[in-house]
Amino acid sequence: MSESSDGSSLPGIAYLVGAAFFWSVMSVCVKLAGERLPSQQIVWVRAVVTLVYSYLLIRWSGIDQVFGRNKKLLWLRGLFGFAALTCFFYALTKLPLADATVIHYTNPVFVAIIAAVALNESLSAMEIGGAAASLMGVVMIAKPSFVFGSGVSGLNPIYVGVALLGAICAATAYVIVRRLRTTEHPLVIVFYFPLVATIGSAPTAAFTNLQWPSPWEWVLLIVGVGGCAQIAQVCITKGLHAVKAGRAMTVTYLQIVFAAVWGLLVFGESIDGWSVAGGLLVISGTLAANRS
């Protein structure tokens, strides 16, 4: 599937919308499971479940090159994806759902910047200005005391920093996916993510306070986290095969809307004016940064 001459691809966009929805459901399940289970345990279970799903999909699709051609880039895609997953899941258990999601979704800004270096895509003044606006939006969401004063209840800067680090790692993974699109099948690219995450999260999960999941938590982990994540990964990979990296990621901002709704309905989380304004600034800045 290739991008059409007018820069749009309806099938690709449909995949990206689907990815945003299923990621939002996954985030809800992570936050619910994280009320008792350590985040690294959730990362490991998610990785194992999606590794099984990915392998079965590859076998059912009759793909011969299970481990791909460009193994170096495939392993790097998995490594950065694992780092992003670890940071995001941890942030989800510590921050309000909508705030953690919007901070993580600064990653399209970093996609544009990293793609400019790695893929030789041009970086304009509009893109630089959009990046600055998005980061300013993150400050408005985090509301640090040294900017807003002690009278405003802000987010823990450590957790905000972890969420931002996850966004940078996710952006790097997405750029690598874009680079791999000419040599690898989408399902092979997806396969490497849980493969590396399973290997990487096993030792870190082992050193946490492991808890045996309840039946309901098993449903959350296997169906909610693992199943929805697998569907979202396939959708995002197919979408990135059809739409330019920076432009494609703007579509997935629908996850912020989904997260706000889930946060209100499931967790009773309120959204203040600063967070709304910051979220709008992040979205506007990213749209500007990825404007064709």
The pLDDT averaged over each successive group of 10 residues in the chain (292 residues) is 49 83 92 91 89 87 82 94 94 89 82 80 74 82 67 78 93 89 86 92 83 91 87 80 64 77 86 82 75 55
Per-residue model confidence (pLDDT) at position 127: 73
**CA angle at residue 60 from 55 to 66, to 5 degrees?**
45
CA distance 102 to 213: 29
Per-residue model confidence (pLDDT) at position 211: 83
Which residues, in sequence order, are CB contacts of 208 under 8 Å at separation 6+?
38, 40, 41
pTM above 0.85, yes or no: no
Per-residue model confidence (pLDDT) at position 139: 82
Per-residue model confidence (pLDDT) at position 30: 94
Per-residue model confidence (pLDDT) at position 1: 41
Half-sphere exposure of 22 (CA within 13 A, CB side): 20
Per-residue model confidence (pLDDT) at position 46: 87
Q: Which helix (H) or strand (E) holds 8?
A: none
Which residues, in sequence order, are CB contacts of 140 under 8 Å at separation 6+?
274, 275, 277, 278, 281
CA 195 to chain centre: 17
